[in-house]
Amino acid sequence: MDKIRIGIFGFGKTGKVVANEFLKNSLFKLEWVVRKCHDDHQKYASRLLGHEFDAGEIFSAEDMSDDFFLERPVDMLVDFSDSTGVYLYKKAAVAGIPIITAISKYEQEELDLLKFFTKHTAVLYSPNMSLGINVVMVAAQILQKIAPHADIEIVEEHFKGKKEVSGTAKRIASVLNLDAEEHINSIRVGAIVGRHEIIFGMPHQTIRLSHESLDRAAFGQGAIFAVKFLIGKPPGMYTMETIIAEMFRQNIPVY
Amino acid sequence: MDKIRIGIFGFGKTGKVVANEFLKNSLFKLEWVVRKCHDDHQKYASRLLGHEFDAGEIFSAEDMSDDFFLERPVDMLVDFSDSTGVYLYKKAAVAGIPIITAISKYEQEELDLLKFFTKHTAVLYSPNMSLGINVVMVAAQILQKIAPHADIEIVEEHFKGKKEVSGTAKRIASVLNLDAEEHINSIRVGAIVGRHEIIFGMPHQTIRLSHESLDRAAFGQGAIFAVKFLIGKPPGMYTMETIIAEMFRQNIPVY
Amino acid sequence: MDKIRIGIFGFGKTGKVVANEFLKNSLFKLEWVVRKCHDDHQKYASRLLGHEFDAGEIFSAEDMSDDFFLERPVDMLVDFSDSTGVYLYKKAAVAGIPIITAISKYEQEELDLLKFFTKHTAVLYSPNMSLGINVVMVAAQILQKIAPHADIEIVEEHFKGKKEVSGTAKRIASVLNLDAEEHINSIRVGAIVGRHEIIFGMPHQTIRLSHESLDRAAFGQGAIFAVKFLIGKPPGMYTMETIIAEMFRQNIPVY
Amino acid sequence: MDKIRIGIFGFGKTGKVVANEFLKNSLFKLEWVVRKCHDDHQKYASRLLGHEFDAGEIFSAEDMSDDFFLERPVDMLVDFSDSTGVYLYKKAAVAGIPIITAISKYEQEELDLLKFFTKHTAVLYSPNMSLGINVVMVAAQILQKIAPHADIEIVEEHFKGKKEVSGTAKRIASVLNLDAEEHINSIRVGAIVGRHEIIFGMPHQTIRLSHESLDRAAFGQGAIFAVKFLIGKPPGMYTMETIIAEMFRQNIPVY
């Protein structure tokens, strides 16, 4: 089988780890990486990440001529850059190349652009690509339906330097119809990579669903999962949550 | 609406708490309690549990004449006694009175008897009636399907005096196809009422599903939930797990 | 040996549990209970708590004539009432009867009164009498000294109905010189009796010290511990923290 | 001030991380690293770990001529190799160079050799160098003395591949006089770096002391802490536990 050709936008802390996951997986060929700045220009992401082969040539946003996507064709775009990345791949989207984007926060204009893309291609958008957190999120929504009177609180723990409230925690609050201000408890200490816990309190029992990220490669693994899912899918908007919800449906146990 | 008339088998530690939950709920009328011994004979369970009205007259197993169920009709039987309780209500079962039984361990002979009952009436059998633990169990089964390579371990914590391994933990191991000997870790300390945690370890993330019982009333609440579910159901075998699995199916989130 | 005679102030939710712990312990004789209201006047606390003997006659605050303490002598006073209880036992204090008080919050005037008492008798004042929480608190203070750069956060979990922030959590913040507003995270769900966790985050490791109350009897056990400690002590102010700190000193391991 | 000159034995997974911590800290100069094999012979550890300067020349055990320590003088030896490392630095020990060793398991012969060294120099031996785990261990010993009737269980969680029971957990069991077989619960899932929890169960409360390693640099930090402590100390045997116990003594809170 031919390898799936991948183009990545973004080569920051998370982008690098994601690129590395694609480089390590023999199903994929990392064609190129586009980053905003000129650092490491035309070097190979593979070399920078310690591999002994050439893959993932690095371009800057300014390199993106009209024919960029024609000259360097890929089967899927993966965006771990920032909210402005979306403006760089209009042409690819209209040409039908599927897109996976993990940007944590878009403005309305960018969301509208993504929506426009979905007329032409499959777009999967999820601010948190980790499989586990999406499983926890879907389970929490079902539990809330089964136990509608349970009190629910969200605790998120991250390293001291993380300034804002976790976007994932906000997303959890949103799908559970909880006021984020009131129900998210943010712990900032030391070097915790990321932990989310959803606590359900009932009159005689407590349920806790918790997810802990051990390193950022969880996002790369999620992106790989998403790429595999998106191949061959018709145009439209997809999210990790819809994929996971569908997997729940298909895997309800039968006794 | 007429109250649902309940007959309870068993008046031990858990039986008492379950009886009390039915006494406190205006949907139900606790008609009687059958216990093995002669303690508190023909007293009212309600009085013994601190209520100021008469309900739940206490009989011993020896009181159960041929006409017991005719003279003291109920709409549902709830069994928190022990594995021999099942022999006391053959007549009721054949007459079509639905049965809820929460015995932790039956021998084959008794399981066969329950199966025979299911030709005539609805039988719901679950060794752990608590809603929450069954939600956790179903979620764990789905998660195992979604992440088939995850390593799974079960931790169960109970008070020092609890001798054997938690039956609920064994049930969890069984539905997850895990060797109980190898994958259940039993903690016995102090006065912990009951806590079960299922740990899913993956290469870059860890998921924990945990359930903690704060007191035994969780079982009474579960029994009430089961009674409501079982009313009007056709003959057959039901479990809390099948109910919860069905509720999962009906509550898959749509985005 | 003669039993230690105890007089208790307060017969609310916690007061009752504390009284019961003294009733169950053969070292003690519960002489009387003083409560604000007239409920259960001159009944026996022992009977109300299910014992088959008479102990702990119940008086109201209005019963407290000038000779109350002479006519009903005790060896120790235990106060689980409210901040006004302290005004009821001035005479006893001046007469040298040791006092244990577990009121969560005093005004300055009452603190001054307690201070005055310490000229005449031993006073032990701790808003949280549970042994375990005081152990955790002392360990946290030492850990903070050993790892001065660790980030510290406090999480406290209690039942939904608990309105204010846990006084114990505030006390922990205070001894650790942390801003309570900023560093206490309050979870209010279901029926959790009480859980406090102190998280120490460091660059490569995280330490968590957690204490969970399973029921209010922990406070009674703490009060018993405190009574045993206070017998024969010279006048002065004591706290559970000072006792525990002293026990730390005496039990530093030697290798 | 002159930098403290360090020689390291061992350049495996942990050895590398420890070397890197010394390289990053301006108080120290990493003079050399001795490893068993010939890999990376006479390269610089600094370069291999991504630094842009030369430090920590790599030698193999066979390079260790009689004059090795004279020609390449250091102020302290740090041993993260294996149980045979101890035979390589007899001369240095007799010459009075202080030694820190973090080997998890020695045979009697090697322990005897270490003991012999202590006549000539200060030797600090601890199988787990992380500051946090030693704090937890000392706190647990004190708590056991304060609450002698508490039931105690140890839970240790590590990555799936870790074969044997955690040496640290065994050490905890040993200092608490607990049978390791019976009281250590080992969880092996996914990629957990290392987590130890000590659970104290009492009749009405539960205390949990937990330590989680986020990465191996915790051991390097601990080694740096140990080096600073050991400078100028008289000959003798030291352990992290004795250091931490002494820090407990000096930091008992005063109220």
Catalytic (active site) residue A91: no
Report the chain C residue with the minimal C-alpha distance to residue A202: C190
Distance between CA atoms of D211 and D198, rounded to whole angstroms?
9
Instruction: Tell me if B185 and D155 make a contact (CB, 8 A cut-off).
Output: yes
On whether any CB of chain A is under 8 Å from the CB of B125, the answer is: no
Report, as ranges of residue numbers, the positions in chain D whose pLDDT lies below 70. Answer: 1
At D105 the pLDDT is 86
At B168 the pLDDT is 93
At D255 the pLDDT is 78
H helical segments located in chain D = 13-24, 45-48, 68-71, 90-94, 108-117, 131-146, 167-175, 180-183, 217-230, 240-250
CB atoms within 10 A of CB A223: 29
Report the chain D residue with the minimal C-alpha distance to residue C255: D242
Radius of gyration of chain B (CA): 19
At C50 the pLDDT is 87
Mean pLDDT of C165-193: 96
Chain B CB contacts of A203 under 8 Å are 217, 221
Q: Which residues contact A20 (CB under 8 A, 6 or more apart)?
A: A49, A217, A220
Residue D236 backbone class (left: φ over 0; alpha: ψ -120 to 50; beta: rest): left
Distance between CA atoms of C239 and C127, rounded to whole angstroms?
9
Residue C225 phi, psi (nearest 5): -55, -45
At B105 the pLDDT is 86
Q: Which residues contact A50 (CB under 8 A, 6 or more apart)?
A: none
For the cut 90, the answer to whether the pLDDT of residue B205 exceeds it is: yes
Name the token pair of C122.
Answer: 């031993």
Mean pLDDT of C169-188: 97
User: Which contiguous run of DSSP H or E holds residue A198?
Assistant: strand A194-201
On whether any CB of chain A is under 8 Å from the CB of D1, the answer is: no
Mean pLDDT of B72-87: 96
Report the chain A residue with the minimal C-alpha distance to residue D48: A50
At C255 the pLDDT is 78
Q: Which of C16, C158, C183, C211 is an active site residue?
A: C158
On whether any CB of chain A is under 8 Å from the CB of B254, the answer is: yes
Q: What is the dihedral of CA C167, C170, C176, C181, to 10 degrees?
A: 170
Chain A CB contacts of D190 under 8 Å are 214
Give per-residue pLDDT as tens, B222-248. Answer: 999 999 999 999 999 999 999 999 999
Catalytic (active site) residue A115: no
At A199 the pLDDT is 98
Name the token pair of C188.
Answer: 């209010």
Least confident residue range of A130-134, B70-74, B206-210, C1-5: C1-5
For the cut 90, the answer to whether the pLDDT of residue C49 exceeds it is: yes
Q: What is the pLDDT along chain A (255 residues), one digit of tens a residue?
A: 699 999 999 999 999 999 999 999 999 999 999 999 999 999 999 999 989 999 999 999 999 998 999 999 999 999 999 999 999 999 999 999 999 999 988 999 999 999 999 999 999 999 899 999 999 999 999 999 999 999 999 999 999 999 999 999 999 999 999 999 999 999 999 999 999 999 999 999 999 999 999 998 999 999 999 999 999 999 999 999 999 999 999 999 987
Among B164, B158, B161, B8, smallest CA distance to B76 is for: B8
Side chain identity, residue D124: L
Is residue A251 classed exposed, middle or buried when 0-12, 13-18 and 19+ CB atoms within 10 A define those classes? middle
Cα–Cα distances in angstroms (integers) from residue A220 to residues A14, A17, A106, A130, C23, in the given order = 8, 7, 21, 8, 62
At B58 the pLDDT is 97
Q: Is the ipTM of this complex over 0.85?
A: yes
On whether any CB of chain D is under 8 Å from the CB of A50, the answer is: no
